């Protein structure tokens, strides 16, 4: 099959593209190579994908509708997976316009182009951040998600709503999936695991926000990739509606699905796992909750399991070790 993936120089896009290429599919990767974090890391990811003859990269911004349309038109994808976005909760406090341009204008361009070229299945990456500080756990897809705490979360929820309207108006099969704290090798340098391991190697303090009282539903990258590929084969429709818990719209072929294991871990448990893997204690600097942070995330995986037969299962001990091993092998190439 032909997969058009936005964000292939990013953490998740790289892993997804590599898995699909290994499985014999064709992948066109569209990425803006923005300097939000290390371009060396992004270039290394794309270099890894370039080893596959069935990979084709296009460098460009989502806001460049003409270039995006040309790429989709020439490739004629069966599935379009939109992962590219301006990421990061905290950065959205500093530069909200980057989120407006990428996550709203860019995502609208994707919707328009997928409509024009009648893409078989459009898949959109959303986030657990849309749940805000919802007091009811686990977070279910049918729960209200109308109180975003950051502009980042607001842009992702807005993308979901725009997509629903396109599914209704143009009968486009669209699946939006909400990520829960994804981690693993080739991860983003602004994420906690990357920052903590790097600081501990350099014998620096790690900054633990919320006095360590927060919890997250950590998702290992391989589990996430499995779930995305599984969902790509499940076209939203009445034939697979799941009673009581489904978000399948009555107005069009649109569905929202959590990708999370439903096993949140405390932030201090996360730190202790890193310490155990690295064989040394961290120098901890306890800090108050940052603006825009949420106290916990906790996915209900019930809909994902009903649709695909499985959920994320890889534990922190395995996932953290895989990241540390990767980082120790690659730090000189990417830092």
Q: How confident is the model at residue 326 (pLDDT cuts 50, 70, 90)?
A: very high
Is 152 noted as a catalytic residue in this protein?
yes
**pTM confidence score:** 0.96
What is the per-residue pLDDT across 155-190, written as a single tens digit (0 to 9) for each? 999 999 999 999 999 999 999 999 999 999 999 999
Q: What average pLDDT does range 131-146 have in this prediction?
A: 94
Whether residue 292 is predicted with pLDDT greater than 90 in this model: the reply is: no
Whether residue 3 is predicted with pLDDT greater than 80 in this model: the reply is: yes
Tokens of residue 127, six digits = 């986030």
Q: What average pLDDT does range 21-38 have in this prediction?
A: 95
Element (H, E) at 26: strand 26-31
Polymer length of the chain: 335
Q: What is the pLDDT of residue 87?
A: 79
Alpha carbon 229 to chain centroid distance? 13
How big is the CA angle at 295 (ends 293 and 299), to the nearest 5 degrees?
105
Average pLDDT, whole number, for the chain? 96
Ordered domains of the chain (ranges, CATH):
2-186+219-262+298-313 (3.40.50.720)
Q: What average pLDDT does range 299-317 have in this prediction?
A: 98
pLDDT above 90 as % of the chain: 91
Q: What average pLDDT does range 79-94 have in this prediction?
A: 87
> Which residue in the block uniquely carries the two structure tokens 């993308």?
159
Strands 26-31 and 2-6: parallel
Q: What is the pLDDT of residue 79?
A: 98
Q: How confident is the model at residue 212 (pLDDT cuts 50, 70, 90)?
A: very high
Q: How confident is the model at residue 86 (pLDDT cuts 50, 70, 90)?
A: confident
- Active-site position among 3, 36, 99, 152: 152
Strand partners, 29: 5, 57
Least confident window among 6-10, 36-40, 252-256, 267-271:
36-40
Q: What is the pLDDT of residue 220?
A: 98
Q: How many CA atoms lie within 13 A of 184 on its CB side?
A: 21
């Amino acid at each position: 099959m032909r997969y058009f993936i936005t964000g292939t120089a990013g953490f998740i896009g790289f892993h997804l593209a590599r898995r699909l290429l290994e499985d014999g599919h064709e992948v066109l990767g569209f990425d803006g190579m923005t300097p939000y974090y290390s371009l060396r890391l992004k270039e290394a990811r794309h270099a890894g994908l370039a080893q596959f003859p069935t990979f084709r990269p296009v460098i460009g911004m989502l806001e460049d509708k003409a270039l995006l349309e040309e790429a989709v038109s020439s490739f004629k994808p069966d599935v379009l997976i939109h992962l590219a976005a301006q990421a990061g909760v905290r950065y959205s406090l500093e530069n909200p316009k980057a989120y407006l341009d990428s996550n709203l204008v860019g995502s609208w361009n994707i919707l328009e182009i997928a409509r024009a070229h009648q893409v078989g299945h459009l898949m959109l990456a959303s986030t657990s951040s849309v749940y805000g500080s919802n007091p009811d756990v686990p977070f279910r897809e049918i729960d209200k998600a109308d109180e975003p705490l950051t502009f980042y979360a607001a842009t992702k929820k807005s993308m979901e709503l725009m997509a629903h309207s396109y599914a209704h108006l143009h009968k486009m099969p669209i699946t939006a999936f909400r990520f829960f704290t994804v981690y693993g090798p080739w991860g983003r340098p602004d994420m906690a695991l990357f920052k903590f391991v790097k600081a501990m190697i350099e014998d620096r303090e790690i900054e633990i926000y919320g006095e360590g009282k927060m919890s997250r539903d950590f998702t290992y990258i391989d589990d996430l990739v499995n779930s995305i590929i599984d969902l790509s084969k499940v076209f939203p429709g009445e034939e697979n509606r799941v009673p009581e818990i489904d978000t399948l719209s009555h107005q069009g072929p649109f569905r929202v699905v959590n990708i999370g294991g439903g096993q949140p871990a405390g932030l201090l448990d996360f730190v202790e796992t890193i310490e155990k893997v690295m064989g040394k204690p961290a120098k901890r600097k306890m800090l108050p909750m940052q603006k825009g942070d949420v106290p916990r995330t906790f996915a209900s995986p019930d809909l994902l399991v009903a649709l695909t037969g499985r959920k994320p299962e890889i534990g922190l001990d395995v996932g953290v070790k895989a990241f540390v091993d990767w980082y120790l092998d690659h730090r000189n190439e990417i830092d």
